[in-house]
Amino acid sequence: MSILLDFAQGVLALALAPGLVGLVRWFKARLQNRRGAAPWQPYFELIKLFGKDGVVSNNASWLFRAAPYVVFGSTLAVAFLIPTIFAPQALGGVGDLLAVVYLLLLGTFCLALAGLDPGTAFGGMGASREMTIAAIAEPTLALAIFGLALEAGSTNLGQIVAQTLGNPALAVTPGHLMAFAALFIVTLAETGRLPVDNPATHLELTMVHEAMILEYSGRYLALIEWAAGLKLLIFFALLSNLFVPWGLAVVLTPVSLLVGVAVFIVKLAFLAGVVALLETRVAKLRLFRVPELLSLSFVLALLSVISSFVLR
């Protein structure tokens, strides 16, 4: 029964993902003093893309056509493993936080290869930059996980959530706060948000994620865009539910589940607002300044772990 709920939770995350992307865009539009499209505009975009024909380069191989499915599948698999509405999950024993990180890396790996496949310079450039940023963000992710896992005594997400729910004072320890800040910076880097990457740019030389998907069209593009939205939702879910887990349903009654859904949407909306404000305020960093930003997040994560050691 709870396995079915796990799947339902993942499908709900999938359904909410385009809305989240639309919400961030709507906030940004309003902050630019214009009306902007409705928050549900990305749904129309996906429907349209699924209806369009596809055009494929004749240099591309089977990898180009398979990559969107792998990217989408691996991101969806992660959506089934993280706590969004309730915790702990029945599928919690299948994958822990490290597994989540590596599943996301699987998607990045395939997308980078797909960027190299058609043989364009833009694709190669996007792949190169994406892998650089992913590589430098890995230590921060690992250390942030380390910090959380030390407190909870486990790398399993359900345990981490339960630990914070059990000791509310944990949520404001310096370790947790610094880990949150580090993870927030990594979220911006991994999901391609300002100041690391501008999701709305048209200048190929400034692109990172977009450059890899310039050759995609039709249903392939729809899958990749959806997966990108889902990745954003996953990171927001991790940020909110690992550090501020109140609102997650712990008993599986209809009321608590509905409350869980409502609280989750509120958390997502809040984080969407924060990201929109940040994107309005800052400019994109030069590519070779991004490692400095990621080093800052690494230092924060390291300090958070050291503080757990020192304060144990």
Partner 1 sequence: MASIFKKIFKTGLVTEPLTAGDAETVELVHAISEQTRRLLGRSLAIREVDAGSCNGCEIEITALTGPVYDSERFGIHFVASPRHADLLLVTGPVTHNMQVALVKTYEATPDPKLVVAVGDCAKTCGVFRGSYAVAGSVDQFIPVDVFVTGCPPEPNDLLRGILAAVGRLPGKKQAAARGGQA
Partner 2 sequence: MSAVLFPLMLAGYAFGALAGLLGGRGSVGRWLVALGAGLGAGAGLGLGAGVIAGGGALVWSSPDLFGFAGGLQLRLDTLGAAFLVLIGVGAIPAAIYGAGYSEAYEDGRTALRRHPRQGAEASGFMLNLFLLSMSLVAMADNIFTFLFMWEAMSLSSYFLVITESSELGTLQAGQWYLGMAHLGFVCVAAGFMLFAGGDWAASFDSLRAGAAALPAALRSIIFLLALAGFGSKAGIVPLHLWLPMAHPVAPSHVSALMSGVLIKLGLYGLLRVSLDLLGGGPAWWGGLVLGLGAVSAVLGILYALMENDLKRLLAYSSVENMGIILMALGAGLIFHSYGLMALAGLSFVAGLYHTLNHAAFKGLLFLGAGAVLHATHTRNMELLGGLIKRMPWTAFFFLVGAAAISALPPLNGFVSEWLVFQALLGGFQIPSSEMALIMPLAVGMLALTSGLAAACFVKAFGITFLAIPRSVPAEQAHEATPAMRAGMGLLALLCLGLGVLPFAVVPLLGRVLAGIGGLPADPVVLTFNLSLQMPAGFGQMSPSLMAVGLVGLLALIPVVLRMLRVNRRLRLSDTWGCGRTGQTPRMEYTATAFAEPLRRVFTQLYRPTKELTIDFHPESKYFVQSIEYRSQITPWFEKVLYRPLLEGIRFAARMVRRLQSGSLHLYLLYISLTLVLLLIVARWL
Q: Apex CA 302: angle with CA 300 and CA 308, to 5°? A: 105
Beta bridge pairs of residue 86: 249
Binding mask 109-148 for partner 2 (x = CB under 8 A): x--xx--xxxxxx-xxx-xxx-xx-xxxxxx-xxx--x--
Which region, judged by CB under 8 A, interacts with partner 1, from 63-71, 174-182, 209-217, 249-257?
A: 209-217
| Rounded Cα gap, residues 121 and 179, in angstroms | 37
DSSP string for 137-198: HHHHHHHHHHHHHHHHTSS-HHHHHHHHHH-GGGGGSHHHHHHHHHHHHHHHHHTT-TTT--
| Rounded Cα gap, residues 116 and 126, in angstroms | 9
Does 155 interact with partner 2 (rule: CB under 8 A)? yes
Among residues 5, 69, 244, 257, the one that binds partner 2 under rule CB under 8 A: 69
Quick one: angle between helices 97-116 and 218-243, nearest 10?
A: 150
Does 153 interact with partner 2 (rule: CB under 8 A)? yes
* Cβ-based nearer residue to partner 1, 30 or 286: 30
Sign of the alpha-carbon dihedral angle for 79, 160, 306, 275: positive
Binding mask 210-229 for partner 1 (x = CB under 8 A): x---xxxxx--x--------
* Cβ-based nearer residue to partner 2, 37 or 135: 135
| Rounded Cα gap, residues 259 and 281, in angstroms | 33
Helix (H/G/I), strand (E/B), else coil: 249? strand
**Which amino acid, residue 84?**
T
Which region, judged by CB under 8 A, interacts with partner 1, from 32-40, 74-82, 151-159, 291-299?
A: 32-40
Residue 198, contacted partner among partner 2, partner 1, none, CB below 5-8 A by kind = none
Does 89 interact with partner 2 (rule: CB under 8 A)? no
In the numeric block, which tokens belong to residue 129? 């930059």
| Rounded Cα gap, residues 35 and 27, in angstroms | 10
Does 41 interact with partner 1 (rule: CB under 8 A)? yes
| Rounded Cα gap, residues 253 and 175, in angstroms | 33
Does 70 interact with partner 2 (rule: CB under 8 A)? yes
Give the position of tokens 């486990």: 154
CB of 27 to partner 1, least distance (A): 12
CB of 45 to partner 1, least distance (A): 4
Does 214 interact with partner 2 (rule: CB under 8 A)? yes
Does 181 interact with partner 2 (rule: CB under 8 A)? no
Residue 35, contacted partner among partner 1, partner 2, none, CB below 5-8 A by kind = partner 1
* Cβ-based nearer residue to partner 1, 55 or 63: 55
Question: Residues 83, 161: contact at Cβ < 8 Å?
Answer: yes
Beta bridge pairs of residue 249: 86
* Cβ-based nearer residue to partner 2, 155 or 191: 155
Residues at the site binding partner 1, with contacts judged by CB under 8 A:
29-38, 41, 44-45, 47-48, 51-55, 201-204, 207, 210, 214-218, 221, 277, 280-281
